[in-house]
Amino acid sequence: MKELVLASHNAGKLRELQALLGDSVVIRSISEFTDIEPEETGLSFIENAILKARNACQVSGLPALADDSGLTVDYLQGAPGIYSARYSATGGDAGNNQKLLSALQGVPDQQRGAQFICVLALLQHANDPLPIICQGRWQGRILHAAQGEHGFGYDPLFYVAEQQCSSAELPSTLKNQLSHRAQAMQLLKQQLSL
């Protein structure tokens, strides 16, 4: 496999995954084929990743890689979870971050545990009965205020204890070694023998 389509319109995710995968495979954006996003009707990261990959195979005719990822916060019983990207309904990253900070108002550090979760699903074709599924989990906690300028999504609020900074303060090369997406991609590369 030399080329595949990423089932996401998120340019940050495309850059991150291409950097993780390296030059052995060219990742094309679903944006080249359609502007329509499939409805994420699954109740888990795995279900939604498969839905997105299957749709991308159908519209592109290429093997497809889908990433369904998000933030789960212990105090919020796993929320925002699969709804991470649309947690605030409006306002994008800034709105999502503000809603999360409001939900955790007054909650002490020891109860602010969180995980970034990533599920990658790779389908060879639209009717692939055996998708490759790889999962990554990055442990951290939610800060009381945003820190850092890099990354996207919840990165400015996600504190990485081993590095003593937020995910948004990490150089991209280091983030691409530690993150939930990096962990899932490493497993995928092993599966594909890359």
Q: What is the CA radius of gyration of the chain?
A: 16
The residue length of the chain stands at 194
Q: Supply 187's token pair.
A: 């497993």
Look up 74 and say whether it is catalytic: no
Catalytic choice (23, 35, 67, 68): 68
Q: Are strands 64-73 and 113-123 parallel, antiparallel or unpaired?
A: antiparallel
Contacts 24+ apart (CB under 8 A), 98-101: 100/71, 100/73, 100/142, 100/154, 100/157, 101/144, 101/145, 101/157
Q: Supply 165's token pair.
A: 């900074």
Distance separating alpha carbons of residues 25 and 93, to the nearest angstrom: 29
Active-site residue set: 68
